[in-house]
Amino acid sequence: MQKKFVKNLALLLFLNFLVKPFWILGVDRQVQNVVGPGEYGFYTAILSFSFLFYIFLDLGITNFNNRNIAQNTQLLQKHLAGIGTLKLLLGILYGIIIIGIGIVWGYRGRELYLLAWVGLNQFLLSFILYLRSNISGLLLFKTDSFLSVLDRVLMIVIVGIMIWTGWFSMKFTVEWFVYAQTTAYLITALIALAAVLKQSGKLQLNWNPVFFIAIIKNSLPFALLVLLMSFYNRIDPVLIRKILPLESGDYQAGVYAQAFRLLDAGQNFAFLFSVLLLPIFSKLIKEKKPIDQIVRLSFSILVTGAIIIAITSSFFSKEIMSLMYNRFGTETASEYALRISQSSYIMSILMFSFVAISSNYIFGTLLTANKSLKNLNIIAFAGLLLNIVVNIALIPKFMATGSAWASLVAQGSTAVLQLLLAVKVFKFKPDYLLVAKFISLILILVLGGWLMKNIINADWRLLATALFAIGLMYSLIIRLLDVKGLIKILKSGEA
């Protein structure tokens, strides 16, 4: 099972490293440069609002289905027919909920129009993820890997034509950005459906209320967890826009969005681990096989990478933000400098949240596979309360920066609690050597970063690359990134 994990993780990471950085740091970033921080902040707040109620599209069905199909592959055809019908009904429910709550929240006119389109995109995305849960549940990781990047490839092509070729004569707006996403998601959903039908055979939608109730009952613990995590992961721009005056709220949400972009890129890669690990953990737990090695392996790979990226980007945050974003419209040089300064500080804070998020993707996935959902929900609820309280306390005075601190506090707290819960449930022995290795890596990176910023006079891109390389090489030397262990797994006969 470790061999399967490592081989398919390599393929998944390779494809996503080819595509998603270009999407997030190239196309999506350029969209913000074209429409401006205020307009993009407006879009980000609407998108985040739609994410808050994403659970009503899914009710935990995707996670439940991934785990269930991995353990009971013979149920694919039966469950696909029933759950496919249920997903369509949930899409209608979700649309009613977000529009209704949006009106109560104060959305009108253009806000509701954009929310409706974003809601359609969320439905298509949810359906794609459900279809992919069947594919990964069958351990068809190669197919799932290609589907994981298909929507982004299509969006790169469509949006790229709009903003770079000059073929698109109309003024590019966030609405056109959303329409492009709709097209890409729709094509991807059709291709994913074809891939699933190849495994299941003919599909006929099935109206079966008893089956719907049974699936929802089994999925609800997963649903509550996803709902709580959606809130404390996505509520920041919504609260920024609600708490601050309208124009200031849009602008600050835009500043937060441009700082969040690197964290978003990192989260995409961290999420890939959970996609692969959930069915693998589920199968190992069911078969009562040891999980210690694969937990340590995945944790070391993901958290080591997160630490190196977080510290490197923190030292060079202002340079990175200046490279990524240009002056917009009538923005003065001083206004631009202030925006870059604020977003670079926010990025430094958020990238340390990335370390906590990476840990959560390992231990949260492990505990989900073990169905330790009651405790996970308690932890997620505590994280949500903490996030909201800190946001309300800090946004009025520190604006988007206060929201970044709220994110770090919430993510860090939940990471510690999930780690302690996993140790208790699985009776993991404390690995003091591993802790010492992580501490030494942090010290090496901090010392190297300080020397490069204060002593060495060279182009910042060379210095940032050197610092990243130092962290990578040191991790290999002390075997935080255990190449020999990976090669041993790949050469072994373990499937």
Please determine, for residue 121, whether its predicted confidence score (pLDDT) is greater than 70: yes
Q: 110-131 burial string, b = 16+ CB within 10 Å, else e?
A: ebeebbebbbbbbbbbbbbbbb
Please determine, for residue 302, whether its predicted confidence score (pLDDT) is greater than 70: yes
Closest residue by Cα to residue 297 from 225, 362, 221? 362
* pLDDT score at 85: 79
* Cα 50 to Cα 56: distance, rounded to the nearest angstrom: 11
* pLDDT score at 25: 72
Band (pLDDT 50/70/90 cuts) for residue 235 is confident
* pLDDT score at 99: 95
Cβ–Cβ < 8 Å for 236, 263:
no
Q: Which of 178-182, 380-384, 452-456 has the highest mean pLDDT?
A: 178-182
Cβ–Cβ < 8 Å for 92, 24:
no
What tens digit of pLDDT does each residue of 366-377 get?
998 888 888 888
SS3 61: helix
* pLDDT score at 409: 94
Q: Show the tokens assigned to 28.
A: 């999506």
9 vs 190, higher pLDDT? 190
pTM: 0.74
* pLDDT score at 206: 64
Q: Mean pLDDT, to the nearest integer, of 475-489?
A: 73
Q: Mean pLDDT, to the nearest integer, of 197-208?
A: 69
Band (pLDDT 50/70/90 cuts) for residue 5 is low
Q: Mean pLDDT, to the nearest integer, of 210-225?
A: 70
* pLDDT score at 158: 92
Q: Mean pLDDT, to the nearest integer, of 405-429?
A: 92
* pLDDT score at 277: 78
Q: Show the tokens assigned to 26.
A: 């190239």
Please determine, for residue 301, whether its predicted confidence score (pLDDT) is greater than 50: yes
Q: Mean pLDDT, to the nearest integer, of 425-452?
A: 92
Percent of the chain with pLDDT over 90: 36
* Cα 493 to Cα 495: distance, rounded to the nearest angstrom: 6
* pLDDT score at 81: 67
Q: Give the lowest-confidence range in 220-234, 334-348, 435-449.
A: 220-234
* pLDDT score at 181: 94
Cβ–Cβ < 8 Å for 132, 189:
no
Cβ–Cβ < 8 Å for 276, 141:
yes
Please determine, for residue 234, whether its predicted confidence score (pLDDT) is greater than 80: no
* Cα 463 to Cα 117: distance, rounded to the nearest angstrom: 43
Closest residue by Cα to residue 353 from 413, 304, 298, 301? 413
* pLDDT score at 489: 46
Q: Show the tokens assigned to 461.
A: 């891109």
Cβ–Cβ < 8 Å for 368, 222:
yes
Average pLDDT of the chain to the nearest whole number:
84
Band (pLDDT 50/70/90 cuts) for residue 96 is very high
SS3 433: helix
Band (pLDDT 50/70/90 cuts) for residue 146 is confident
* Cα 236 to Cα 404: distance, rounded to the nearest angstrom: 8
Helix segments in 399-431, DSSP class H: 400-426
* pLDDT score at 412: 94
Q: Mean pLDDT, to the nearest integer, of 444-449?
A: 95
179 vs 274, higher pLDDT? 179
Please determine, for residue 138, whether its predicted confidence score (pLDDT) is greater than 50: yes
* pLDDT score at 495: 38
* pLDDT score at 202: 66
* pLDDT score at 389: 93
Please determine, for residue 266, whether its predicted confidence score (pLDDT) is greater than 50: yes
* pLDDT score at 179: 95
Please determine, for residue 487, whether its predicted confidence score (pLDDT) is greater than 70: no
Please determine, for residue 428, whether its predicted confidence score (pLDDT) is greater than 60: yes
* pLDDT score at 490: 43
Q: Give the lowest-confidence range in 58-67, 312-321, 340-349, 434-443.
A: 58-67
Please determine, for residue 66, whether its predicted confidence score (pLDDT) is greater than 60: yes
Q: How far apart are the first and last CA of the chain?
A: 5
Q: Mean pLDDT, to the nearest integer, of 411-426?
A: 93
Closest residue by Cα to residue 24 from 324, 390, 430, 400? 324
Please determine, for residue 149, whether its predicted confidence score (pLDDT) is greater than 60: yes
Cβ–Cβ < 8 Å for 255, 41:
yes
Q: Give the lowest-confidence range in 68-77, 166-175, 294-303, 342-351.
A: 68-77
Percent of the chain with pLDDT over 70: 83
Q: Mean pLDDT, to the nearest integer, of 323-336?
A: 85
Q: Mean pLDDT, to the nearest integer, of 393-402?
A: 93
